[in-house]
C-alpha cells in the first residue's frame, strides 16, 4: 500500500499491526529494497501476501504495465505467485469515482506459478501477465 496511508490516524496503526507493507512510489531503488525486505520478513512469518502488480487501476480497465517489486520479492523469497484475473469492476466503480453502479465482478484464480522455475524476473513477470490476461476479456488484455 502507498506509504501515505500508514500515516493516517488509527488506520495507520492498524495497517502496521496487520503487517501491511508500505511502498514508496518514488522509483528509488533504496526505497524499493526496504519494501522488499519488509515483505520478506512478513512472508518468513508464514503470512500470505496480496500484491497488485499494476500498482493502480487503469482509467479504462485495460491492463497496465506491471511493477517490478512483487517479482523481486517472489524471486528472492521463492514464494509462489497465484495470478488472479479481475474484470467487471471497471463498470461497477470507475477509477476516481465514489459512485457504485450495479454489475457483476468476475474473479479467476489461476494455478500457482513457481518463481524458481524462471531464470529471470522478466520471464516470471511475463508468465504471470500471460496467466492474468488469459482470464480477462480480450479488450482488457492490451
What is the predicted pLDDT for the residue at 4? 84
Instruction: Tell me the C-alpha distance between 139 and 142, whole Å.
Output: 7
- Length reported for the chain: 142
pLDDT tens-digit profile of 55-99? 888 999 999 999 988 998 899 889 999 999 999 999 999 888 999
Same-domain status, 129 and 67: yes
106 forms beta bridges with 87
Average pLDDT, the chain: 91
Q: Are residues 70 and 16 in the same domain?
A: no
Question: Does 42 share its domain with 74?
Answer: no
The whole domain housing 88 covers 50-142
Task: Compute the C-alpha angle 99/104/106, nearest 5°.
Answer: 120
6-20, 34-48, 118-132 — most confident range: 118-132
Q: In terms of domains, do 73 and 141 share one?
A: yes
Euclidean distance between CA atoms 45 and 127, whole angstroms: 27
Q: Are 19 and 83 part of one and the same domain? A: no
pLDDT band per the 50, 70, 90 thresholds, residue 40: confident
How many domains is the chain built from? 2
On whether both 42 and 54 belong to a single domain, the answer is no
Mean pLDDT, residues 102-114 taken together? 97
Residue 113 confidence class, pLDDT cut points 50, 70, 90: very high
User: Which pLDDT value is given to residue 126?
Assistant: 97
Task: For residues 83 and 23, state if they share a domain.
Answer: no
Give yes or no: residues 101 and 61 share one domain.
yes
Domain boundary among 30, 47, 64: 47
Whose grid coordinates read 500498482?
A: 55
Which residue would you say has higher pLDDT here, 18 or 120? 120
The last residue of a domain, from among 47, 68, 85: 47
Q: What is the pTM of this model?
A: 0.84
User: Distance between CA 93 and CA 91 in Å, rounded?
Assistant: 6
Residues 79 and 125 in one domain: yes
Amino acid at each position: 500500500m502507498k506509504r501515505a496511508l500508514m500515516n493516517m490516524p488509527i488506520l495507520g496503526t492498524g495497517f502496521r499491526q496487520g503487517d501491511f507493507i508500505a511502498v514508496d512510489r518514488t522509483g528509488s531503488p533504496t526505497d524499493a529494497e526496504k519494501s522488499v525486505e519488509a515483505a520478506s520478513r512478513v512472508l518468513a512469518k508464514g503470512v500470505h501476501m496480496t500484491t497488485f502488480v499494476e500498482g493502480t487501476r487503469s482509467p479504462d480497465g485495460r491492463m497496465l504495465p506491471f511493477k517490478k517489486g512483487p517479482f523481486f520479492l517472489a524471486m528472492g523469497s521463492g514464494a509462489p505467485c497465484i495470478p488472479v484475473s479481475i474484470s467487471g469492476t471497471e463498470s461497477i466503480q470507475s477509477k476516481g469515482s465514489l459512485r457504485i453502479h450495479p454489475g457483476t465482478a468476475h474473479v479467476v484464480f489461476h494455478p500457482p506459478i513457481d518463481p524458481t522455475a524462471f531464470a529471470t524476473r522478466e520471464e516470471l513477470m511475463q508468465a504471470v501477465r500471460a496467466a492474468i490476461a488469459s482470464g480477462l476479456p480480450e479488450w482488457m488484455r492490451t
